[in-house]
Amino acid sequence: MKVVLVSYTPDSELIIASSASASYDSKKNFTPEYVSSFLKNLAERGHLSPFEHASFTFDIQGISRACSHQLVRHRIGVAFTQQSQRYTKLTEPHFVTPSTIEQGWEERYADLSLACHRLYREMVEGGIPMEDARYVLPQSFETRIVMTMNARELINASELRLCQKAQWEIRELFENLRSEVKKVAPAIEQMLKPKCYRLGFCTESKSCGLFPTRNKVETKNGSN
């Protein structure tokens, strides 16, 4: 997996802060420290709409089609341009191998993946349209996708995708997105966390241990 931030709103954090301020019309000193604490305060109070004024564009290479299928379920504040398997011939057999499979099953997994790609290539060379030949390719096969996401959706999607219960490949993807954002918007990067940090509790039926589940928080409060 290779994730590169190819474009972004310049001075994104300042743009968010000054947009939000326009709505309250007060004069303010926009030092980096001020902007950072202002953004933190907005997020804590749930005022996330100003975060829609800043966007980040990533070139994402080498994720599986299993992962991209999940990724494109994000619908709000996001744009995707994905490499088409209808028009682009996959000449090389690049595919993703989950680490659980690497231990013991790797050879058969790789052999079958290569066999699928061989049949794909033969069919394409034999005149089968690429859009049909690709049906034989496992969903482990790699794709490339350009994604633009605004800061609000980055925060929101990270709450889901950075959770320990998220599927490993999409979690790894969001960790990469976060690393890229850190280079240009460190205050926003601070907000890219699983939702339990904001809630103070875990919404899953069983917690990973980071925060207690909702029930246990209530018990605790009740005991005071």
List of residues 6+ apart from 43 with CB closer than 8 A: 51, 155, 191, 198
Least separation in angstroms between residue 47's CB and its own copies is 9
Least separation in angstroms between residue 212's CB and its own copies is 9
Is 161 among the residues known to form the active site? yes
Least separation in angstroms between residue 36's CB and its own copies is 18
Cβ-based nearer residue to its own copies, 29 or 104: 104
Cβ-based nearer residue to its own copies, 137 or 192: 137
DSSP-derived secondary structure letter, 152: H
Contact 217, 200 (CB under 8 A): yes
Q: Is 173 exposed, middle or buried (0-12, 13-18, 19+ CB in 10 A)?
A: buried
What one-letter code names the amino acid at 164? Q
Cβ-based nearer residue to its own copies, 126 or 209: 126
Contact 54, 188 (CB under 8 A): yes
Cβ-based nearer residue to its own copies, 143 or 176: 143
Q: Residues 112-137, buried b or exposed e (16+ Cβ, 10 A)?
A: ebeebbeebbebbeeebebeebbeeb
Least separation in angstroms between residue 80's CB and its own copies is 7
Catalytic residue among 65, 134, 161, 178: 161
- The residues annotated with a catalytic role in the active site are 161
